[in-house]
Amino acid sequence: MRSLRRVEAPKGFAARVLQRATASEKPLPLRPRFRRGLRWRWIGAVAAILVFFALVANQVRVWRERARVAQIQAQFDTAMRVTDGALAQTRAELERMGLKFGE
């Protein structure tokens, strides 16, 4: 338990430290603070880009699905018009033959 006891500094320690501090013309280089968070900024930027691309990909999928539904609806409308025309023509033929259809 010696490490927990108070130990006095050697004689002249404070004077030597102060002498070194005043003797040095150039201060010790400090690590810039912005470098500490630089990695997290990069991780955040990459995460934001991934989220952005996921949202864009989802939006493109929705646009394509809507276009496909519109195309299917147009094909269905065309098929209904053709069928209505064919039924009208058949109904007219039946009426010419003397059959009343649908009354």
Is 32 inside any structural domain? no
Give yes or no for a contact between 58 and 66, defined as CB atoms under 8 angstroms apart: no
List alpha helices for 2-103, DSSP H. Answer: 13-23, 38-96
Is 54 inside any structural domain? yes
- Write the CB contacts of 101 (distance below 8 Å, at least 6 apart in sequence): 91, 94, 95
Is 21 inside any structural domain? no
Give yes or no for a contact between 94 and 101, defined as CB atoms under 8 angstroms apart: yes
Q: What is the pLDDT at residue 71?
A: 97
Q: Tens digit of pLDDT for each residue in 61-81?
A: 999 999 999 999 999 999 999
Q: What is the pLDDT at residue 54?
A: 97
**Least confident piece of the model among 42-46, 79-83, 92-96, 97-101:** 97-101
Q: How many domains in the chain?
A: 1
User: How far apart are the C-alpha atoms of 8 and 3, rounded to whole Å?
Assistant: 12
